[in-house]
Amino acid sequence: MNEEMIIKTEYSDVMQKSYIDYAMSVIVARALPDVRDGLKPVQRRTLYDMHELGIRSDRPYRKCARIVGDTMGKYHPHGDSSIYEALVVMSQDFKKGLPLVDGHGNFGSIEGDGAAAMRYTEARLQRVSEEALLADLDKDIVDFIPNFDETEKEPGVLPARIPHLLINGAEGIAVGMSTSIPPHNLGETIDAMKAYMKNPKLTVEELLQIMPGPDFPTGGIVINKDDLTDIYKTGSGKIKLRGKVEVEKLKGGKEQLVITQIPYTMIGANIGKFLNDISMLVETKKTTDIVDITNQSSKEGIRIVLELKKGADTERLTNMLYKKTRLEDTFGVNMLAVADGRPETLGLTQIFDHVIDFQFELNTRKYRTLLNKELDKKEIQEGLIKACDVIDLIIEVLRGSRDLKMAKACLMNGATEGIRFKSERSKKQAARLRFTERQAAAILEMRLYKLIGLEIEALMREHDTTMKNIARYSEILNNYDEMAKVIMRELDKFRKAYSVPRKTAIENAKEAVFVEKKAEEMPVVFLMDRFGYCRTVDEATYDRNKEAADTESRYVISCRNTDRICIFTDSGKMHTAKVLELPFGKFRDKAFPIDNYSNYDSSKERIVCLCSMEELLSARMLFVTRRGMGKTVNGIEYDVRTKTSVATKLNEEDEVLYAGFAGENMQIVMQSEEGYFLRLPIQEIPEKKKAAVGIRLMRLGEKDSLENVYLFESRTEQSIIYKEKEVALHKLKAGSRDQKGTKLRI
């Protein structure tokens, strides 16, 4: 009977060790690429599985569902979505400068359209993947490791013959770290790697003369060339990117701005956001020069056209696009990769060091395997040549032997016992035979047609070729310079086959200067309807349409165009919106949701108070929550520049029911859902900081909560309708804080 052993340990130690193990597993086995082949595990496994399934570039496409299922079942048990996503990204030429997968079907678009489901799409390997990443796997060129359930073998790394990590770049988020490596031009990267192999003392500055910097598939312009040296030395930094803007002349003296290249960071939904940002600049009157915006992008490339008014200042507009939209953006570089089994931030020369060492390791293993095969062939060939010279004796041995074992023993050791020979001379000659085991086996398996003269000549020629190969492979293995030449010739072959012209320009550009025309300060009226659509009009327009404006609007606020609108929500937050950014114009002009101009989200929050910042700063805010908590706050506390800040702290499962200005001589009446009413003078409610919860104003039953809060001036009459009966609030018995209140019997 087995006795259970209870190990006592500190819980925090167990949690710490478990989390570190999990973090390292994610870092090394899922999220980060290997510096040697530039692939994350899911990419490596997908490519290897396609190789194993025989889905080559010269064979028919196969369903992606088949590839994903096979990869998940054999090598990557982390869900089909991650595998299919990796497969899709490896096929997208706008994300990868060197696509590794040839996709057939809808594999998404640069504008953020997703790929079709894997059951509809098909794929196969690109030729470059077979030649540069998967070639020679049968030559013991890399180590194979057991898969997750030890039923299959998979390569620990693919035998990449190019610096793939730099060419295609990488992105990944691990635990506590992330990687972001920009893509580079294949031809330039190979040239730089060759130069570094010839002279390992080359500096980053000298290497950047050969490969000037990143080359993004979307083109664009890198505008901080001088910063690249530090980025490539340290492996981290920020690359500033701009889209390419061209000015096209039209008839009648008009011009239009055409965006033909975008920053790499704009790929996907950010293109739509960019178009929205331009529309917003027009709607908020930041510019009046743009007449129309059309997105004419297609498979041929990006083409976003901005039609301009006659006489428009194109340089000012271009600078405005750079400053106010994502047409100028930042690509954060963090060249983090797995090197020697651990995550490491690598500079350019360090990456080349690892890749070059890997190339020498690959070629050493490859040519050692080839040399051993040639040596085996040499042994057999020499045995067959020698056998042809004494073929009559060998035939005599075979005819005189009782079995194969006896014949083989004679060929290898000259054992003649039991073998019948025609003469004593033949027996003496047979006793001198000393073939190796491999040679003896080859002789015994040799067919008679091999004795034809031409076949013997072919065998001699084959032997000469084998000897040349042995000499060549030995020279490569024993001479560093020879192996370096082999690697460089192979790199030249890939450069010739797959190099493309650079797309991204690299320069030191001046910072875009855009000075907004300072708006003339003026009084305006803010209008917002019950659906949250808002706009501003001047006072004269409001006065002319006062009745309609008051009827149709939920909020009407007089303010200045330089002011901010403050939005207090039931979640205890205050959002702000600049009045200048709100649509301004005629009374019947189109209004837009307040969500567009602030962080307020109408799907998750409810507005409880809306006011101008100028009004708020000279007032005192009253807050009352569903659970009966309350306080007042000095409006000065809300003088912040952030778009969202804390309005009041809330307890769990509580929300703001009421927020509004609290005058000095006011009365507050709170009404609960169960019909309890409590009247207090406003002086009873203390002033607190905005980060405080407040105090309990009304004691509520376990299932009760506040339903309404009413404020009115002291010594004035105030009535409401409650359950179809009129209730005079000013006649209710005055109470104190933390009381249950009076229940009305109606």
Q: pLDDT digit string (tens) for 162-181?
A: 999 999 999 988 777 889 99
Are the beta carbons of 557 and 496 closer than 8 angstroms? no
Burial 652-677 (b: 16+ CB within 10 A, else e): eebbbbbbbbbeeebbbbbbbeebbb
pLDDT of residue 514: 63
213-225: pLDDT as tens digits: 999 999 999 999 9
Give the CA dihedral 10, 12, 13, 17, nearest 10 degrees.
Answer: 150
Task: Specify the amino acid at residue 494.
Answer: F
Residue 301, classed as helix, strand or coil, is: strand
pLDDT of residue 18: 81
**Reduced DSSP (H G I as helix, E B as strand, rest coil) percent helix, strand, coil of the chain, to 5:** 40, 25, 35
Average pLDDT over residues 582-611: 90
* DSSP-assigned states of every residue in 11-45: HHHHHHHHHHHHHHHHIIIIIS-BTTT---HHHHH
pLDDT of residue 128: 96
| Cβ-Cβ contacts under 8 Å for 293 (sequence gap 6 or more) | 275, 278, 279, 282, 304, 305, 306, 307
Query: Which residues make beta-bridge pairs with 172?
Result: 179
pLDDT band of 546, cuts 50, 70, 90: very high
Tokens of 67: 């590839």
Share of the chain above pLDDT 70, in %: 98
pLDDT of residue 16: 84
Burial degree of 199 (CB within 10 A; 0-12, 13-18, 19+): exposed
61-119: pLDDT as tens digits: 999 999 999 999 999 998 899 999 999 999 999 999 999 999 999 999 998 889 999 99
| Cβ-Cβ contacts under 8 Å for 251 (sequence gap 6 or more) | none
Tokens 């994350």 label which residue?
Answer: 40
pLDDT of residue 665: 86
pLDDT of residue 516: 65
Element spanning 362, H or E: helix 348-389
Instruction: Catalogue the long-range contacts made by 639-644 (C-beta closer than 8 Å, 24 or more residues apart).
Output: 639/613, 642/576, 643/575, 643/576, 643/577, 643/598, 643/599, 644/573, 644/574, 644/575, 644/576, 644/598, 644/599
- Closest to 216 (Cα-Cα) out of 308, 333, 128, 381: 333
Total count of residues recorded for the chain: 746
Write down the mean pLDDT value for the chain.
Answer: 90
Q: Where are the beta strands (DSSP E) in 211-319?
A: 221-222, 236-242, 244-249, 255-261, 290-295, 304-308
pLDDT at 1 exceeding the cut of 60: no
The residue ranking higher by pLDDT, 30 or 529, is 529
pLDDT of residue 177: 82
Catalytic residue of the set 22, 61, 84, 120? 120
Burial degree of 45 (CB within 10 A; 0-12, 13-18, 19+): buried
Residues 65 and 120: their CA atoms lie apart, in Å, by 8
Residues 619 and 602: their CA atoms lie apart, in Å, by 26
Residue 435, classed as helix, strand or coil, is: coil
Residues 472 and 477: their CA atoms lie apart, in Å, by 9
pLDDT band of 523, cuts 50, 70, 90: very high
pLDDT band of 280, cuts 50, 70, 90: confident
| Cβ-Cβ contacts under 8 Å for 435 (sequence gap 6 or more) | 383, 386, 387, 411, 412, 443
| Cβ-Cβ contacts under 8 Å for 239 (sequence gap 6 or more) | 182, 213, 214, 222, 224, 227, 228, 231, 330, 331, 333
Are the beta carbons of 260 and 302 closer than 8 angstroms? yes
pLDDT of residue 245: 93
639-671: pLDDT as tens digits: 988 899 999 999 998 999 999 999 888 999 999
Average pLDDT over residues 304-319: 90
* DSSP-assigned states of every residue in 318-329: HHHHHHHSTTEE
Residues 547 and 435: their CA atoms lie apart, in Å, by 115
Residues 656 and 572: their CA atoms lie apart, in Å, by 6
pLDDT of residue 469: 92
pLDDT band of 591, cuts 50, 70, 90: confident
Share of the chain above pLDDT 90, in %: 63
Residues 354 and 35: their CA atoms lie apart, in Å, by 7
Q: How many CA atoms lie within 13 A of 514 on its CB side?
A: 18
Q: Give the best-scoring range by mean pLDDT among 52-66, 410-424, 430-444, 506-520.
A: 52-66
Torsion angles phi and psi, residue 372, rounded to 5 = -60, -40
pLDDT at 580 exceeding the cut of 80: yes
Task: Say whether 322 is catalytic.
Answer: no
> Taking the CA atoms of the chain, what radius of gyration do you get in angstroms?
40
pLDDT at 450 exceeding the cut of 70: no
Are the beta carbons of 407 and 444 closer than 8 angstroms? yes
699-732: pLDDT as tens digits: 998 889 999 999 999 888 889 988 888 889 888 8
pLDDT of residue 497: 94
Does the pTM exceed 0.85? Answer: no
Q: HEC profile for 674-729?
A: CCEEEEEEHHHCCECCCCCCCEECECCCCCCCEEEEEEEECCCCCEEEECCEEEEH
- How distant, in Å, are the alpha carbons of 529, 530, 641 from that of 593? 10, 11, 21
Task: Specify the amino acid at residue 463.
Answer: H
pLDDT of residue 285: 74
Burial degree of 405 (CB within 10 A; 0-12, 13-18, 19+): exposed
pLDDT of residue 746: 66
